[in-house]
Chains A and B, each alone.
Chain A
């Protein structure tokens, strides 16, 4: 089993310069994530949640503050940190197993270990029998499964998920959320999920980090002390979901109160 990483973010600030203007994207973000924890980050668009992930993976640099993995500052990209993007980003000229193997090119494993790890992870995401298929032959959900296998095959300490199910239909999304939860339990690694789907955040996360925009900052962190697998219809689940939605100014009780008024 992979070693799970501890991620510590201290007073992280990020600015973009657009022409002569300075855009403050992240404002004093501090967050500590325990090994093996699943943290969901929700927020409306423009709250800097994707930028935060891109900083952690190392695709964005030039920030103020600290990002530490197991106490060491991160620098650039590394095989210790994996990512699944919103679009699958598979290489269309490679088969499923070649795409997964892409992540292992620079790993120190022997060829037979690589082969075994590729096969294991293809099976983990339920794509046994599709090893030789090409991306054009796969559905959106299957492609995203391959992307998850590719993100995991290196056995990273931490896996970042940037709205991975955002482009999928509701049925596929439910299935993949359930499977992602199994995978997280099986691999025992730290995961950070960025999403704008509050239900998804509550279903998967040990904690839900709520961010707000302009400048992007943490508004509140809501713990989700519920047993897994979680029941989306359970009262406790719905209560936490409502509480988080309330932070975005979406109040269902008010909406219900409005209905008779409209009917009248």
Chain B
């Protein structure tokens, strides 16, 4: 059994030099009083603000609310994306009728949907979740279409020779054969969903909690320390989600071997 430490990639310490230097300069100039510390706050002040925020219990609530939106929107969008992708990828008829509409709509920036979404769903969690689902849907659907279309005719012939039913063809051939593309689509969708979670909280700001809303409120209250700490937490969770996705990917696709 490999320990956690074995799994960590070896890191060259030289990579830390620049960030450490910047931190030092940052702390130095704020301590020396060369800048307006209301705009450029000291790293120590950021840490202090973060510490207070965590201790107040608001941090946990914010993180929880954001992750809930992220997970709900992602699940909804991923399910819809895979379904649409399978439909457009496998059925000529569906592709004829819905393909052009789908491929035209994808050019509308997801942020352009925000006014319409808030008109329909208000500014509550539902609107945010639908927005996140939209952001997830497109990369997942496009990757699924690509994966399904890449299935070799020779593999479909194997299914025909052994008399697969449509259901068997879907679960024993189409989904697994397209899984490398679907999984990288889901990975991309996960990144998009987290970006969209923050986007939704900024642009559909309401009274609830959330990491994005914390940052927005930090700005309103001119709390640069809180803004910066919020950004760090948002980045850290983005990284964490990405890492989880990478691990899930290599586990699910173990059958491809190591040579890629």
The reply to whether A103 and B162 contact each other, CB–CB distance below 8 Å, is yes
Q: Determine whether the beta carbon of A134 is less than 8 Å from that of B255.
A: yes
Contact B162 A91 (CB under 8 A): no
B157 contacts chain A at the CB level, 8 A cutoff? yes
A102-B257 contact in complex given A77-B160, A89-B155, A93-B179, C-beta closer than 8 Å: no
- The yes or no answer to A59 lying at the interface (CB within 8 A) is yes
CB <8 Å contact, A89 and B154: yes
**Main secondary structure on A side of the interface with B:** loop
Q: How large is the interface on B (under 10, 10 to 19, 20 to 34, 35 or more residues)?
A: 20 to 34
Docked Cα-Cα span, A93 to B173, in Å, equals 9
**Chain A hits for B162, CB < 8 A:** 77, 79, 102-103, 105-106
Output the nearest chain B residue to A79 by Cβ-Cβ distance.
B163
A contact residues around B126 at 8 Å (CB): none
Whether, in the assembled complex, A251 has its beta carbon less than 8 Å from a beta carbon of chain B, the answer is no
Given contacts A93-B177, A136-B255, A137-B257, contact A59 B168 (CB under 8 A): no
Partner of B259, one of A82, A89, A135, A136: A136
* Closest residue on chain B to residue A98 by CB atoms: B172
**A106-B173 Cα distance, complex, nearest whole Å:** 15
Q: Which 6 A-B pairs have the closest CB atoms?
A: A136-B257, A93-B176, A93-B255, A106-B163, A134-B255, A77-B161
Measured CB to CB, the residues of A under 8 A from B are: 57-59, 77-79, 82-83, 85, 87, 89, 91-94, 102-103, 105-106, 134-137
Chain B residues near A (Cβ < 8 Å): 154-155, 157-158, 160-165, 168, 172-173, 176-177, 179, 254-257, 259
A77-B161, A102-B162 given; 6 more Cβ-contact pairs under 8 Å: A78-B163, A85-B154, A87-B154, A102-B158, A106-B165, A134-B254
